[in-house]
Amino acid sequence: MIGAVFTEDGKMLSDITVPTGMPEDTMPALLSFFSKYTISAIGVSSFGPLQLTKGSPEYGTITSTPKPGWKNYPLGRTLGDTLHAPFAVETDVGGALIAEINEGAGRGCDTCVYATIGTGIGSAFIDRGKLTGTLRHATMGHIIVKPHPRDPFPDGFCSFHKGCLEGLASGKSMQTRWGMTVRDLPGSHISWEIESYYLAQFCVSLILGYMPERIILGGGVMKHPDLLPMIRQKVQVMLGEYLNLPEVHDDIDRYIVRAELEGKNGILGAFYIAKQILNKRGVYNE
Ligand code: ZN
């Protein structure tokens, strides 16, 4: 886990990286680092699943994670009670989107989707300044997609749904299907044609479901340089003339874009989550 202390105007004073072991080892190290400062607000951008219902006594608790020791761990409340400061918690993907909207690829957007295509597929959506998902946080990475006719394993690999998006298009599913890592797959390999077909379906569903102002794609799989142009081209074909959105048909290079803050979106997201507690305005509001 990474912890950092910022001034309110965004200058990082200090940071610490603590291995995510058992909570009884990890948390004292983090808390002793933070307790050297007077903390006025705590922002948390965490792996999940998380209980994020505002007003619930369980708000900010990690729920059903397989990580040993963290199941039902009250992460937000432990930080808030120990450091005597208000806290707000979001998923790591939600935090990344908040960071991208504030100073990355989502600048200027009121409604924006971020998805990370890595080992798994995570996504978050900010609608008019607020992250969506009331019952639970939204998790579009598991939507059902149509198999590619040339996919040798169209049944998919998701342990819950088999052929959902994550089961067919995550980095892990690509590695299982092709027997090599995403980094080792040659650019001309059929895998990229198939991958772009799935991710284009995902983008089309995001557009039809949310009508966001921008779609931001990040994660290790998106590092393949040809993938994003292939996705854009397929999105245009799949949507066809339906809607005739100029953002999609005339300006897609600025509509479906690459994430800009990878590697630092976790810590920046947590900063902006904390800042919203103090400001009570902007992209994250009660
Ligand atoms: Zn699934």
Q: 55 alpha carbon to ligand 1 midpoint, in Å?
A: 29
CA of 102 to the centre of ligand 1 (A): 30
CA 168 – ligand 1 centroid, Å: 9
Confidence bin at 130 (pLDDT 50/70/90) = confident
Mean pLDDT, range 58-73, rounded to an integer:
92
CA of 158 to the centre of ligand 1 (A): 5
pLDDT at 279: 85
Lowest mean per-residue pLDDT among 14-28, 80-94, 130-144, 265-279: 130-144
What pLDDT score does 281 carry?
A: 55
Query: Cα(159) to centroid of ligand 1, in Å?
Result: 7
- Ligand 1 centroid to Cα of residue 120, in Å, is 9
Residue 193: what pLDDT? 97
- How many whole angstroms from 202 Cα to the centroid of ligand 1? 13
Alpha helices of 104-241 — where are they, by DSSP H? 165-169, 171-178, 190-210, 227-239
For 2-92+263-279, CATH gives 3.30.420.40
- 105-258 domain in CATH 3.90.1210.10? no
Q: What pLDDT is stored for residue 135 in this prediction? A: 66
Structural domain spans, the chain: 2-92+263-279, 105-258
Q: Which helix (H) or strand (E) holds 246?
A: helix 246-249
Burial of 230 (0-12, 13-18, 19+ CB in 10 A): middle
CA of 279 to the centre of ligand 1 (A): 37
Reported as a pLDDT band with limits 50, 70 and 90, residue 256 is: very high
Type and span of the H or E element at 214:
strand 214-218
- Ramachandran area for residue 72 (φ above 0: left; ψ -120 to 50: alpha; else beta): left
Centroid of ligand 1 to alpha carbon of 173 (angstroms): 11
DSSP 47-116: -S-EE--TT-TTTTEE-S--STTTTT--HHHHHHHHHTS-EEEEEHHHHHHHHHHHHSTTTT-SSEEEEE
